[in-house]
Amino acid sequence: MKHEMLFSGIGGQGIMMLGEILCNVAVEEGYQVTFAPFYGQEKRGGRTMCHVVIADEQGSPIISEAELMLVMDEKSLVDFENLMAPTGTLLINNSMIDLEPTCQCGNVVKVPFYEIANALGNSKTANMVALGYLLKFMPYIPYEKVAKEIEKAFEAKPKVIALNVQALKTGYEYK
């Protein structure tokens, strides 16, 4: 088994945290995991992207084709859609993306991650909404363990733990 994923957005959208939480849980589940973060050269608002590979055996940290891709902004869609696997799933944050993808992939899903997060009371939780939604495509990653990992990730900010766990649940339950 080998799952190749790419997550991208603008610095500050929580893409790296999303990837790290997912990787930590995958390691707990006994998988070989690689996490390759990439940052734009801008000080603020630059491109962030990470490759995540979850597999039974250690391999390259750089993906060849993403079976699952999350793009949170239009530039990410334009820059990375060419890395989609023909049978993969492309998740588009249609809160910020009006463009239609030009890549050939098995499934394109548009979800308003920011509108959902705003309805919860904090747009900064859009990454946790997205993570919850991503879990629908990863039956090998237990939802409950991701929720526990979020609690660990935010233990220095206990006031936001419940909101982030709720954002995860809301994304997971979104249709």
What percentage of the chain reaches a pLDDT higher than 90? 89
- Count of other CB atoms within 10 angstroms of residue 99: 13
Q: What is the pLDDT of residue 45?
A: 73
The domain limits of the chain are: 2-173
Residue-wise pLDDT for 123-162, tens only, equals: 999 999 999 999 999 999 999 999 999 999 999 999 999 9
Q: Is 6 exposed, middle or buried (0-12, 13-18, 19+ CB in 10 A)?
A: buried
Residue-wise pLDDT for 40-62, tens only, equals: 776 667 889 999 999 999 888 88
Level-2 CATH architecture, domain 2-173: 3-Layer(aba) Sandwich (3.40)
Q: What is the pLDDT of residue 62?
A: 85
Q: What is the pLDDT of residue 104?
A: 87
Q: Which of 62, 18, 13 is nearest to 38 (CA)?
A: 62
Strand partners, 70: 7, 91
pLDDT at 99 over 70: yes
pLDDT at 3 over 80: yes
pTM, 2 dp? 0.94
Task: Give the pairing of strands 107-111 and 84-93.
Answer: parallel
Q: Which of 120, 93, 125, 96 is nearest to 109 (CA)?
A: 93
Residue-wise pLDDT for 13-41, tens only, equals: 999 999 999 999 999 999 999 999 998 77
* Alpha-carbon distances of 60 from 3, 50, 106, 120, rounded to whole Å: 12, 13, 24, 38
> Mean pLDDT over all residues of the chain?
95
Q: What is the pLDDT of residue 119?
A: 97
Q: What whole-number distance in Å separates Cα of residue 59 and Cα of residue 142?
A: 23
